[in-house]
Amino acid sequence: KLRGHFLDAVSFAKVSFSMSEKLAVGTRISIQRSDGRVHDAVVTSVNNATRCVTVEWFEHGETKGKEVDFPGVFAINPELRVAKEQGVRSIAKPRSRQSERPMQRLQSPLALRNGNIAAPSPRLSTPVISQQRGGGRLRQLKPPQVRQIPPPAVDASQVKESKQGSAAAKRKSHCVKEVEKIRKQREERRAKHADVVQQRKDDVDVSNPNWEFLRMVREFRQQIGGKPLQISEPVGNHRICVCVRKRPLNKKEISKKDIDVVTTPDKENTIVHECKLKVDLTKYLENHQFRFDYSFGESATNAMVYRFTAQPLVETIFDRGMATCFAYGQTGSGKTHVMSC
């Protein structure tokens, strides 16, 4: 009776082990979503204490996951439930003494014919005890000695690595590969973003109190691009011509670490960047765009300014016409410098 219960326990352990193998990490099973859809997912962890598994899948470019209890897994995956029911049936039917009696009756004539009685042990390897007729003493028969040949020496680390590599290759499915691919792309994007941030810090003087506004102005100029006015372009025929010229920063402004807030992207537009702060002290730019007949940048020469502004007026005067030219702006904006040249 004890041997029968021991064999039943061994069979139950085998069923449990097969169940754990089917629910191992990396196994592909079917799950049911809250909206009724059924699709495949990969087991990422198994929690025997709470009787649930964690699964993940790839959907619309994202990795999603959820926890599913064992009953839910068995309901969608009938092959696992069949294994479980077989394990329960093997435990519910213990071996009885009546089932062993016919086997003993069949084996007893053969044992009596050989002169001894041997207890049948079809599954367990126990030592055979024989009883002699004449002496009435019990004698234990020793099993034959078998010479064991030691296996060849193999490096344990190589065996472990080969087993881990083969197991990982078997467990990896298409969903797991997609998850690893997304993780690799995310790490590459983060590294690229960190490089861009570091490059911006290197390009801008961080010691400048207005370095953030300066970085915003530079980024804005890189985005809009534009083509400034060239001296080789033709001069337009204007009865009234309104022009603007941008003055570069002087030495005093550079020593105070002021920033350039005027941009002339093309020959007609001028943009003024107003530095502002939000309520939460977030810095941002408010860009004001103005249009003129001609817009001269800080790189424009006096010859270029004369060709597009004063030269048409001189030609009109020589043709016995009336012409007027005047400059206006705040103090230090460069009016006298432009008119004298």
Please write down the HEC assignment for all residues of 144-200. Answer: CCCCCCCCCCCCHHHHHHHHHHHHHHHHCCHHHHHHHHHHHHHHHHHHHHHHHHHHH
What is the pLDDT confidence band of residue 147, given thresholds at 50, 70 and 90?
low
pLDDT at 175 > cutoff 60: yes
Tokens of 203: 């390009």
Closest CA to 67 of 83, 82, 51, 49: 51
Classify the C-alpha dihedral 288-291-292-296 as positive or negative. positive
Q: Hey, which of 70-74, 194-198, 260-264 has the most confident mean pLDDT? A: 260-264
Q: So what's the pLDDT on residue 132? A: 47
CA dihedral 74, 79, 81, 85 (to 10 degrees): 180
Between residues 330 and 156, the one the model is more confident about: 330
Compute the average pLDDT of residues 100-129.
Answer: 45
pLDDT at 53 > cutoff 50: yes
Closest CA to 220 of 147, 150, 272: 272
Residue with tokens 């007949």: 293
Percentage of the residues of the chain whose pLDDT score is greater than 90: 19
pLDDT tens digit sequence for 232-243? 899 988 889 999
Least reliable range by pLDDT among 38-42, 73-77, 111-115, 227-231: 111-115
Mean pLDDT of the chain, nearest integer: 75
What count of Cα atoms within 13 Å lies in the side-chain half-sphere of residue 136?
Answer: 0
Length of the chain: 341
pTM value?
0.40
Coil, helix or strand at residue 60: coil
Closest CA to 71 of 38, 34, 33, 31: 31
Strand partners, 288: 272
Classify the C-alpha dihedral 260-325-336-229 as positive or negative. positive
Q: So what's the pLDDT on residue 59? A: 86
Between residues 195 and 326, the one the model is more confident about: 326
Least reliable range by pLDDT among 66-80, 125-139, 228-242, 293-307: 125-139
Tokens of 129: 């005890």
Residue with tokens 């502004």: 309
What is the pLDDT confidence band of residue 318, given thresholds at 50, 70 and 90?
very high
Q: Hey, which of 35-39, 136-140, 159-163, 196-200 has the most confident mean pLDDT? A: 35-39
Q: So what's the pLDDT on residue 203? A: 63
Closest CA to 309 of 322, 291, 290, 296: 296
pLDDT at 11 > cutoff 60: no
Least reliable range by pLDDT among 26-40, 43-57, 146-160, 177-191: 146-160
What is the pLDDT confidence band of residue 75, given thresholds at 50, 70 and 90?
confident
Least reliable range by pLDDT among 4-13, 286-295, 325-334: 4-13
